[in-house]
Amino acid sequence: MEHFIETIGRNMFAIFGVLALVGALIMIGARSAIHSVLGFLFAMLNIAGCFLALEAEFLGVAQILVYAGGIVVLFLFVVMLVEMSKKHEGEVFQLQSRYAVLAVAGGVALFLGVFRKAIFGAPSPESLVLRPELAKGLDVAHQNAQAVSRGLFADYLLPFEILSVILLVALVGAVVLAKTERV
Amino acid sequence: MVSLNAVLVISFLLFSIGIAGVLIRRNALIILMCVELMLNAANLNFIAFARHSGSASGQAFALLVMGFAAAEVAVGLALVVALYRRRDTVQVDDINLLKG
């Protein structure tokens, strides 16, 4: 039993990753949009689990808050608003689906070419461990939030500020796009 | 420990599923969700490489990408709602104003 739990603990990332893939497949395969959103939610929660398994605790929690708490609810509201339409998808996949499948297969083949060594080659000898000489006196694994904040507010302050402007523009744009004409 | 290859393969598969969804589905909402999935696959790579190099820069950047994704969803959903008001559909096949 202890051995079993230990094995699960070691393979946490693979478990969450496979579950995220399952959620993503449900998302693109489901017939109704609500089921798609639920698959999306499942995939996002499992990606958050992947982040936790990679010891990015702050990002894992932020992922749950932003996606499961914000974006999925937004999607659900819009699905509720929009799915009352008379027109429904006749079939789930597009008519030009043959070409789409061909394009996807070509893209996957290209990616496989890039990742050939990573997938089929020998497994990388070094696993994802912190290289202490790069951590600069800060323990990224044990002070995750501090490390991220140092990156965000010291090294990447300008992108952070630009992102705040982008968010403001998106806010104004969303209000302008979604408001009714008579205002 | 997690090997870098495992992370790369998972994120590659997530990205491929996202591309397949964008190309195959015809519901604008589901296409938006697939774009989100692709951004998340990129985030996974950022975090894996941050872990590999031992610096927190990748994680900080993943946080920026997350904020950007939120902004994109807000604008995209506003577009979908505006489209639904005007044309009464969210199926991208029915939106062919530029077809000529």
Model-level pTM? 0.84
Cβ neighbours, 10 Å, residue A173: 15
Q: What is the pLDDT along chain A (183 residues), one digit of tens a residue?
A: 778 777 777 788 889 999 999 999 999 988 888 999 999 999 999 999 999 888 888 899 999 999 988 899 999 999 988 876 555 555 555 556 677 778 878 888 887 777 777 666 666 555 565 555 555 555 555 667 887 888 888 888 899 999 999 999 999 999 998 887 665
Q: Where does A1-84 sit in CATH, by number?
A: 1.20.120.1200
- Token pair for residue A128? 């994802």
Q: State whether residue A69 sits within 8 Å of chain B by CB.
A: no
Disruptive mutation site among B9, B11, B19, B29 for chain A (greatest number of A CBs within 10 Å): B29
> What Cα–Cα distance (Å) separates residue A127 from each residue in A130, A134, B49, B54?
9, 16, 11, 12
Rounded to two decimals, the ipTM of the complex is 0.92
Q: State whether residue A106 sits within 8 Å of chain B by CB.
A: no
The secondary structure of residue B54, as a DSSP letter, is T
The yes/no answer on whether domain B4-99 falls in CATH 3.30.930.10 is no
pLDDT digits (tens, 9 = 90+) for B27-71: 889 999 999 999 999 999 999 888 877 777 888 899 999 999 999
- In chain B, where are the structural domains located? 4-99
Q: Is the dihedral of CA B41, B43, B45, B51 positive or negative?
A: negative
Pure H helices in B1-100: 4-24, 28-53, 57-87
Facing residues of B27 across strands?
A: B91
- In chain A, where are the structural domains located? 1-84, 136-183
Q: How far, in whole angstroms, is CA A94 from its chain's centroid? A: 25
